[in-house]
Every structure is written in C-alpha cells, then in structure tokens.
C-alpha cells in the first residue's frame, strides 16, 4: 500500500477499518432523558475551563439506536452537563457507555466522544419506561419514567437534544505528554421529532470506581422526557486548543 493510500484511510486496521467514514444517520433513535440538579462544587470539579457552570444541571440519558448507518444497532448511556461557553448555553458530554465496538472506536478517534464499553438497556416494563446501565456485571444506574403520561411540545423536545454540544479530546504522545488537548463542538442536523412525552421520573446512581456517575449525585429531578427521532451527526469542529501557544 502506497503512502497516499494510507493517508486516505480513516481507521485501522488497514483493509478493514474499525468504523466507516461519516456523517452518520440515525433512524428511530429513542431517548430517555432525566435532567437533575447536582452539587455545584461536584460539577465544577469535572468541567474543564474555559467552560463555566451556572445552574448545576446534569442530564442522564439512555439512547436506543436500532438503525445507525455504518454502525449498526446499539444502546448508549451517560451524563451530559449543561454549561456555558462564551456566554452561550451548551451541553458538555461528560461520560458515555455503550455496547458497540465501531461506535466506541469512531466516537473516540474520529471525534471526541468520551465513550467506554458498558451495557445500557432501554425497555418498557408494564407501564414504566426503564433505562439501566451496567458496567461489567454491576448496576451503576437505574432510571424510571411513567410511560407516555403526557405529550411534550415537539419544539421543547427539539431544544433539549439539538443544543450545541462540546466534548474534550485528550490523546497522549509517545512520551506520555499531551499530543492533542482540545474542545470540539458538534450539533445535531436534519432532526425530525417523531414523538415526545414526559411523566414522573426517578433516577438512582450507584458508586463505582470506573463508572463514577454517582460522583454527580441526584439532588432534585428537574425534568424528564421520552423522545423518538431521526437525525444526523456531522463531524466535530475545533473550538479551543489547550496546547496552542
């Protein structure tokens, strides 16, 4: 393989890359979101500058993705933090756990999603929408919401998930020092809200050394949503380089 052919590849191994080139289209993407207020100091401890914390809001989400172009069928869960960047409200992705190798590799390498292997589930149990997250064999989160108790305004649902999203990309060099240290930005495109509901919700987080969701404890449930969508994820773009200068 010649050098120019190597440079045209986006992922290893050559000849069978771990993930295909994006952008990625998601059909029938289903969210369970529970937004809660946590301890301000706990939140500030994990939010990198130049992002700022105002109201200490965290969104725990479980996302079912049965039809993801190039990536297949998987489920994802994690925590998203509402912060400010240059005076604008944005979401900062703090942690993501999922059960799909290409999505983990592509999310980390081609973008900056903080993805780790986990076992999330989203399902209906009688009259309850349930989202769970296991890390290894241990349960680290359980979310419950009344199933379709009240219709949610589609524009409110759109605003909840389509806000600009920032992520931290860290990659070491071979000397152990940072080679890439960046904040990047992405924003959902071509979004269709197929249905949206709200209802009573509860969230339980369990302590775990390597999946420390409970480090951002639940102090008050603020809102909950169940949203069905089709959408696209474009490539991320650089907004802040920590190593510049």
Q: Please name which of 98, 245, 99, 92 lies closest in space to residue 169, comparing C-alpha atoms.
A: 92
- φ/ψ of residue 91, rounded to 5: -100, 140
Q: Which residues contact 245 (CB under 8 A, 6 or more apart)?
A: none
- How many Å separate Cα 167 from the centre of its chain? 9
Looking at residue 53, its pLDDT comes to 97
21-241: CATH topology is: Acetoacetate decarboxylase-like (2.40.400)
Kindly name the residue from 115, 116, 148, 177 that is annotated as catalytic. 115
Residues 6 or more apart from 156 whose CB is under 8 A from it?
196
Per residue in 210-244, pLDDT (tens digit) is 999 999 999 999 999 999 999 999 999 999 999 99
- Residue 5: pLDDT above 90? no
User: Is 97 within 8 Å of 135 (Cβ atoms)?
Assistant: yes
Q: What is the DSSP letter of 219?
A: -
pTM of the model: 0.96
Instruction: State yes or no: is 115 an active-site residue.
Output: yes
């Amino acid at each position: 393989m010649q050098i120019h052919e190597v440079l045209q590849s986006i992922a290893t191994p050559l000849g069978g890359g771990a993930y295909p080139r994006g952008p990625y289209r998601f059909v029938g993407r289903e969210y369970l979101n529970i937004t809660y207020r946590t301890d301000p100091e706990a939140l500030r401890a994990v939010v990198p500058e130049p992002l700022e914390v105002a109201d200490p809001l965290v969104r725990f989400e479980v996302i079912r993705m049965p039809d993801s172009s190039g990536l297949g069928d998987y489920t994802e869960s994690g925590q998203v933090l509402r912060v400010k960047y240059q005076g604008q409200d944005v979401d900062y992705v703090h942690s993501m756990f999922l059960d799909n190798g290409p999505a983990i590799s592509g999310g980390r390498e081609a973008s900056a999603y903080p993805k780790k292997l986990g076992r999330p589930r989203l399902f209906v149990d009688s009259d309850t929408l349930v989202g769970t997250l296991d890390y290894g064999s241990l349960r680290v989160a359980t979310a419950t919401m009344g199933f379709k108790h009240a219709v949610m305004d589609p524009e409110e649902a759109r605003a909840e998930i389509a806000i600009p999203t920032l992520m931290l990309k860290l990659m070491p060099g071979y000397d152990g020092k940072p080679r890439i240290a960046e904040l990047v930005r992405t924003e959902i495109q071509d979004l269709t809200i197929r249905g949206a509901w709200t209802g009573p919700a509860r969230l339980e987080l369990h302590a775990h050394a390597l999946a420390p969701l409970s480090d951002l404890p639940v102090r008050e449930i603020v809102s909950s949503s169940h949203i069905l969508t089709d959408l696209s994820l474009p490539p991320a773009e650089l907004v802040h380089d920590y190593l510049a200068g």
